[in-house]
Amino acid sequence: MCESIQHRGPDSRGAFLDEGVGLGVQRLAIIDLQTGDQPIFNEDDSVVVVLNGEIYNYVELRAELERAGHRFRTRTDTEVIVHLYEDHGEACVERLRGMFAFALWDRRRRRLFLARDRVGKKPLFYAIRGRTLWFASEPRAILCDTDVPRDVDYGAIDSFLRLGYTLDPLSAFAGLRKLPPAHTLVWDGRTARTRRYWRLSYKARFDGLDEREQQELVREQLLEATRLRLRSDVPLGAALSGGVDSTAVVAAMAQVADGPIRTFSIGFDVESHDETRYAAEVARLFGTEHEELRVEPEAMRVLPQLVWHYGEPFADASAIPTFYLSELMRQHVTVALNGDGGDESFAGYSRYLFHDVVRRFGGVPDPVAAAAARLLGRFVTETTVRPARQARWLAEGLGAPLAQSYAATMAHVPADLRRRLYTPALLDTLHREDAPAPAEVIAAILARSDGETQVERLLDVDVQTFLPGDLLAKVDIASMAHSLEMRSPLLDHMFMETAAALPSSAKLKGRAAKRVLKDCLREWVPDEVLDRPKMGFSPPLGDWLRGELRELPGEVLLDPRARDRGLFEEATLCGLIEEHQSGRADRSRALWALLQLELWFRTYIDPAAPAPVGALVG
């Protein structure tokens, strides 16, 4: 099991074995290189822990625990967990400020305690069969035990085709589950008990502050979150796209870091997707030591590695540049900061504004909305212009509940295509499994959210779904594949709590997104950097799949192995490929999702070795 995830921690391997329990860990040494190897014990060895991640406030916690009489054997951040557990039990997680998945064995109570950080930076899979529980950071470690079957969870596969990832607690393997973010699990050898220990509140606690005071508050929290994430005994740098979020982190680093900053960026061969000129401008502004790498279509040779590393089907194509960026950074540093989380806290995605527009159509009579939706539906299928995707969102959103229209916004394979694509056999399987649809999950989150505006409730949805399921999974897997630790100041839970408690207008007002974040940076960063249009980090898949990679979808999706699965209608697949290659529609998101699914089947489910996969993309 340890061997299968050695890439996550190549510096040392540790194990604890006792009657009925085994803990294993691969360590990536970041803090306390000499004495910090795991497992870590308390004073009398009655509590033992293994940790994936970092506890950023360990210095402050250690001082507090030493004053309370605890004795430390190491200088590592991991050791604060066992002592906190002695004093606070399961509530110890509430004192931690960091990214973590850990397993703690209480030898006196013979009880296993699993915990995952608040936003889901670090993954944690588990399986239960009878009186046995397995857990690991990645599915393949659990699947090393042949007692855990590799059966497919088709409800999770449907979730993947809709969203591009599997919604927790589901996984693509029927026997495995994901512990959701901000949850703990206690196992006593017979039953598993889970508890949620944190949730964001969007009740406006800072609405009495004027705009200048709001900016000062955000800037102060940003500097503190960044300062904590500079704690490291190994070389450290930053990922820099030149967008607002990564620029914010580099700007904060420039204020609090000792010595020069190293920055890294990725570019593409299609200008509309390339941000390297903006990253270079920010690097010059702050005098960083800057490196960049260009990703071109031949970079797809890494696809078999991606499928193997992700362990589940994963359709976010920005995993490709993230993988290469991680490889580049690891050549120079062991830890890198990034700007993840800014969009989900400060309403940076265009979909928040879009759904605000849709909300204003709420008073339109149903027949008018239905007619408009039909007209827009025809427009979408007949155009390849950039607004086509937003037109489809509007077509599926008019007259629909918010949860349903938002799920349509996120879809990789839209509803009309799924109806034509799924075979009767797959539909029957999905009906029997009866897994909750993404719209149902989103509706439940919307109902529980205390956000006063629709924008805030949608931010709540993304923090609990898209952020851990897509963005954080992408970065964790791509970085750990290269033994690189990625840290995200904007995902500090105290920073996020501050952002959530600001009035909605501080985040999105009219067409102005991320208002308070941008404004708090203006004393450090020029307006032209902050106010340029958002570009994102995705490769030009549409161009690639019509150019150098045009044969790839047909070779994979129409291969006899794929057809024999009986999941998708061959005529629909052929039409999908033809539509994209002819330029009549951009079907790259759907094709990419289907490619990832088929290659996952070949890598993890099929009994034959997946050697042919490399030939398809080499």
Full DSSP string of 492-529: -HHHHHHHHHS-GGGTEETTEESHHHHHHHTTTS-HHH
How large is the average pLDDT for residues 59-72?
98
Q: What is the pLDDT of residue 368?
A: 58
The answer on 445 and 408 residing in a single domain is yes
Q: Is 582 contained in some domain?
A: yes
In this predicted structure, which of 94-108, 372-386, 493-507, 595-609 has the lowest mean pLDDT? 372-386
Q: What is the pLDDT of residue 379?
A: 47
Q: Is 21 contained in some domain?
A: yes
**377-384 contact pairs (CB < 8 A, 24+):** 377/416, 380/585, 381/585, 382/584, 383/585, 384/583, 384/584, 384/585, 384/586
Are 205 and 501 in contact by the 8 Å Cβ rule? The answer is: yes
Are 296 and 541 in contact by the 8 Å Cβ rule? The answer is: no
pTM above 0.85, yes or no: yes
Question: What is the crossing angle of helices 154-163 and 588-600, to 10°?
Answer: 150
Q: What is the pLDDT of residue 228?
A: 98
- pLDDT tens by residue, 303-325: 999 999 999 999 999 999 999 99
The answer on 454 and 505 residing in a single domain is no
Are 580 and 440 in contact by the 8 Å Cβ rule? The answer is: no
How large is the average pLDDT for residues 277-285?
94
Distance of alpha carbon 401 from alpha carbon 331, whole angstroms:
48
Q: Is 410 contained in some domain?
A: yes
Last residue of a domain, one of 161, 196, 231: 196
Instruction: Count how many domains the chain has.
Output: 4
For 225, the domain range is 211-347+461-530
Strands 183-187 and 192-196, bridge-based pairing: antiparallel
- Give the bridge partners for 16, in sequence order: 23
The answer on 164 and 19 residing in a single domain is yes
The answer on 289 and 241 residing in a single domain is yes
Q: What is the pLDDT of residue 433?
A: 83
The answer on 466 and 425 residing in a single domain is no
Q: What is the pLDDT of residue 394?
A: 60
Last residue of a domain, one of 474, 507, 530: 530
Residue type, position 29, single letter: A
**Sign, CA torsion 274/275/281/284:** negative
The answer on 474 and 506 residing in a single domain is yes
What value, to the nearest 5°, has the Cα angle with vertex 226 and ends 113 and 515?
110
Residue 147 DSSP one-character state: T
Last residue of a domain, one of 459, 491, 518: 459
Is the pLDDT reported for residue 376 higher than 70? no
- pLDDT tens by residue, 594-614: 999 999 999 999 975 443 333
The answer on 314 and 224 residing in a single domain is yes
Alpha helices in 229-275 (DSSP H): 244-256
Distance of alpha carbon 601 from alpha carbon 598, whole angstroms:
5
The answer on 513 and 389 residing in a single domain is no
Q: Is 90 contained in some domain?
A: yes
The answer on 315 and 263 residing in a single domain is yes
The answer on 546 and 401 residing in a single domain is no
The answer on 53 and 35 residing in a single domain is yes
Are 572 and 135 in contact by the 8 Å Cβ rule? The answer is: no
Distance of alpha carbon 89 from alpha carbon 158, whole angstroms:
38
Q: What is the pLDDT of residue 375?
A: 55
Q: What is the mean pLDDT of the chain?
A: 91
Distance of alpha carbon 509 from alpha carbon 504, whole angstroms:
8
How large is the average pLDDT for residues 491-513?
95
**ω before 401 within 30° of 0 (cis)?**
no
> What's the CATH code of the domain at 95?
3.60.20.10
Q: Is 498 contained in some domain?
A: yes
- Give the bridge partners for 194, in sequence order: 185
Confidence class of residue 198 from pLDDT cuts 50, 70 and 90? very high
Structure tokens belonging to residue 464: 């609990």
- pLDDT tens by residue, 127-157: 999 999 999 999 999 999 999 999 999 999 9
Structure tokens belonging to residue 202: 């969007």
Is the pLDDT reported for residue 326 higher than 80? yes
Q: Is 88 contained in some domain?
A: yes
The alpha-carbon radius of gyration of the chain (Å, integer) is 24
Strands (E), 56-131: 98-106, 111-116, 125-129
The answer on 359 and 340 residing in a single domain is no
Q: Is 204 contained in some domain?
A: no
> What's the CATH code of the domain at 503?
3.40.50.620
**ω before 304 within 30° of 0 (cis)?**
no
- pLDDT tens by residue, 404-453: 989 988 999 999 999 999 999 999 999 988 788 999 999 999 999 999 99
Q: Is 169 contained in some domain?
A: yes
Structure tokens belonging to residue 251: 């700007």
Three-class DSSP category at 290: strand
